[in-house]
Chains A and B, each alone.
Chain A
Amino acid sequence: MRPAMQFVDTASRFQSSVTVSKDDTNVDGKSIMQMSMLAATCGTRLKIKAEGTDAAEAVEALRDIVEIKKFGEPTPEEKSRQA
Chain B
Amino acid sequence: MGDKLPEHVLAGAAGGDLPVQELRAQFPVLHQKIHGHPLAYLDNAATTQTPLAVQQAVQRFEQHDRANIHRGVHSLSQRATDAFEAARATLKRFVGAGAEHELVFTSGTTEALNLVAQGLWAAGPAKAWLRAGDRIVVSGLEHHANLVPWQHAARMSGAELAILRPDAQGRVHVDDLRALLTPRTRVLALTAGANATGERPPYEEMLALARAAGALTVLDAAQAVGHAMPGLAQLECDFMAFSGHKMYGPMGTGALAGRRAALELLHPLRLGGDMVEWVSYESAGWAALPARLEGGTPNVAGAVGLAAAAQFITDVGRGAIDRHLHALRAQAVAGLSAIPGVTVLAPHAAQASLVSFVARDVHPHDIGTLLDERGIAVRTGHHCAQPLLDHLGLGPTTRASFALYNTSEEVDRLVAAVARAIEVFQ
* A, B bound: no
